[in-house]
Amino acid sequence: MSTQYSHLIDLNDYPVEWWDKVIKLGASMYAHPQRYVQACAGKIMATLFYEPSTRTQMSFQSAMIRLGGSIIGFDNPMSSSVSKGENIKDTTKVVSSYSDILIIRHPMAGTAKAAALTAECPVVNAGDGGHLHPTQTLTDLLTLHMEKGRLDHLTIGLCGDLLYGRTVHSLCKALSCYEGNRFVLISTPELQVPEYITKMLRDSGCEFRTETSLDAAIGELDVLYMTRIQRERFLSEAEYLAQKDVYRLTTEKMKRAKPDLAVLHPLPRVDEIEIAVDDDPRALYFKQAQYGMYVRMALILRLLESETALPVLHGVEDNSLHCVNPKCITAQEHYLPHRFIEVSGKTVCEFCEERAIPVR
């Protein structure tokens, strides 16, 4: 194992006070960007993007450039040694030795945690399959801080793909930590949030309900978080087509919303928000994307300056159990330890937080 660093794998690894410091720094960078133009001079950031990205990748790159640093990495694994079968450990070990901070996105859940086990620098999770997306959550929190003026006592509607939507999972986990927030989970029965998220909400004492109708819920919301139905997460085209057009935000629906509703979307959008909604001042998703660059600037600086190292793994190793999730990184990288944690009285895989069962 390598030296421990201050990684960002799951936002909930840090206390709320830490998040608030990153958000406050991001707000300062937004207001006074000229103060930070040389903050990372001489530093190198590596970006390893194993699946397509526009906003996350470019906002990280823009963030490092604006801080005075440099960038290496790839956005197509087939142009790297990954195409020859190189595993996550070897790629991470080598690239992290060239850089001061490493940003990784991967379609398999738990990959960022796996990378952090042997990395020679801080690792940031830029999205691991349908699991978590903590820097998008920081983006969402900065957006609400700037546009709503608070992160508590909000009624938050999350609509669309709540099963595979990693941004939804991360945001639920984060906003459940602030007092008085309640959630309306709007989806088809097939795309409801995973069980571990509803258990987490119950354990946090948050009020929440499931809803199948956006029309029925929109009038009570302070925040509406729209998500696209993600074609790449479905096992078949037929399953995707059955879900893709169920929810659509239109100007007509916006007439029933509060005058200060904040409409967010992690983007990219397909057809779940009508183009005409863009002209509504309550549509904040493009501004949200801009805030993402500033909060990532703040995150990079915080992790590079941090003297506090967090352990990567907390769970117990148990070779008599295995993870049931075929999209968990442990199903691909067999050298990884079989580590498990207890969540709401259930034993789950530490890498992806899905159910563990005995080895047959």
Question: Where does the pLDDT of residue 80 fall: very low under 50, low under 70, confident under 90, or very high at 90 and above?
Answer: confident
In a domain, residue 310? The reply is: no
- Please say if the pLDDT value at position 359 is more than 80: yes
Question: Where does the pLDDT of residue 132 fall: very low under 50, low under 70, confident under 90, or very high at 90 and above?
Answer: confident
**pLDDT single digits (tens) 292-347:** 999 999 999 999 998 778 889 999 999 999 999 999 999 999 999 999 999 878 89
In a domain, residue 5? The reply is: no
Residues 128 and 171 in one domain: no
CA 90, distance to chain mean position in Å, is 24
How many other CB atoms are there within 10 angstroms of residue 190's CB atom?
11
pLDDT in the model for residue 226: 96
**pLDDT single digits (tens) 210-235:** 999 999 999 999 999 999 875 554 45
Q: Has this prediction a pTM greater than 0.85?
A: yes
Q: Identify the domain containing residue 84 by its residue range.
A: 11-133+290-305
Residues 275 and 209 in one domain: yes
- The Cα 194–Cα 165 span in angstroms is 10
pLDDT in the model for residue 1: 44
Higher-pLDDT residue of 260 and 163 is 260
pLDDT in the model for residue 309: 81
> Would you state the structure tokens that stand for residue 209, as one six-digit string?
């309900």
For the ranges 24-28, 130-134, 256-260, which has the lowest average pLDDT?
130-134
pLDDT in the model for residue 2: 47
Q: Where are the beta strands (DSSP E) in the chain?
A: 44-49, 70-74, 101-106, 123-128, 155-159, 182-186, 207-211, 223-226, 262-264, 316-317, 321-323, 339-343, 346-349, 356-358
pLDDT in the model for residue 238: 64
Closest CA to 48 of 117, 109, 101: 101
Q: Where are the beta strands (DSSP E) in 3-115?
A: 44-49, 70-74, 101-106
Residue count (the chain): 360
Closest CA to 18 of 153, 177, 169: 177
DSSP 8-state class, residue 292: H
Residues 165 and 244 in one domain: yes
In a domain, residue 140? The reply is: no
Residues 326 and 295 in one domain: no
Residues 33 and 119 in one domain: yes
Question: Where does the pLDDT of residue 16 fall: very low under 50, low under 70, confident under 90, or very high at 90 and above?
Answer: very high
In a domain, residue 102? The reply is: yes
Residues 126 and 16 in one domain: yes
Q: Which range, 5-14, 283-292, 306-315, is most confident?
A: 283-292
- The Cα 93–Cα 115 span in angstroms is 8
Residues 173 and 47 in one domain: no
Residues 99 and 214 in one domain: no
In a domain, residue 2? The reply is: no
Question: Are 81 and 38 contacting, i.e. CB atoms less than 8 angstroms apart?
Answer: no
Residues 294 and 281 in one domain: no
Total structural domains within the chain = 3
In a domain, residue 139? The reply is: no
Residues 274 and 323 in one domain: no
- Please say if the pLDDT value at position 243 is more than 70: no
Residues 157 and 252 in one domain: yes
In a domain, residue 4? The reply is: no
CATH number at residue 171: 3.40.50.1370
**pLDDT single digits (tens) 55-79:** 999 999 999 999 999 999 998 777 6
**pLDDT single digits (tens) 167-180:** 899 899 999 999 99
Sign of the C-alpha dihedral, residues 282, 131, 326, 80? positive
Residues 76 and 172 in one domain: no
In a domain, residue 141? The reply is: no
